[in-house]
Structure 1
């Protein structure tokens, strides 16, 4: 498997624009907090490291990954001039099909929120088979998906701004 030995959060060969001009929401699921707190720290620190101002980062917690959908929608409706929303969660495969329903609903729901508001809504939700895979992707040997989500938010906010500047 390609990811077995790779840190997926290595952006050394990628140019990341400055995060300074933009405002970000971060919605984090409280379910699986060991993992989601690590994802949040990765995302927040990545935004700061790329120049975002702490006053331009709006963090909110929601009960679980399914609630990321309404959390992102609420942020975009109530916080003025957000440029992107990062959604962080973790769904671990269990013995029932609940995993499939939640993962599909969250992916589709976040896509719909992004389209509805015409803003980047970033899918930073781990969908893993077990706790170890979640640990590996939330600051472990495969990097931190929160960091990846923040870089994606920066790039998408910058892309949207570049189109506004063409008008």
Structure 2
């Protein structure tokens, strides 16, 4: 399972950070789990009033995350799911989302939580979606990583 080796971290106070969640709309059950996991992390890290912005699909995440980052947010949590099909579409969307979100992080020097599931089948995505029967909660992990990174960036900027 891909979750092996995850760092053991405790939530830290990120209540002063401005955070948004940008989530794709495809595969609603999986997306609901990812969003719930991100919201759980936000609560544990004491972040309030983080908007959840919905986009049509994973391909649209980078442009909206970039716009949000340009509005002065400290962290943006990007959530999506792409399930392999019988065409090269999977590779194109996965590459575009990954490259685009990386570019947003670097261009805006903002923490991006990468919560994009890239799975061979729906069952793999369900296992990672943070649902009652899931083994992993990638929504929580993406939010936690974004918050820890945003806190570090803010501390570095203060120094």
> Do both share a fold (TM > 0.5)?
yes
Aligned pairs for 1:1-167 within 5 A: 3=1, 13-53=8-48, 55=49, 57-77=50-70, 79=71, 81-139=72-130, 140-166=133-159
CA-atom RMSD, angstroms?
Answer: 1.8
Distance 2:20 2:45 in 1: 16
Normalised TM-score (structure 2)? 0.91
1:10 Cα deviation (Å)? Answer: 7.2
| Alignment length (residue pairs) | 157
Q: TM-score, normalised by structure 1?
A: 0.87
Query: Which has the bigger relative contact order, CA under 8 A and spacing at least 6?
Result: 1
Q: Which runs of 5+ in 2 are unaligned?
A: none
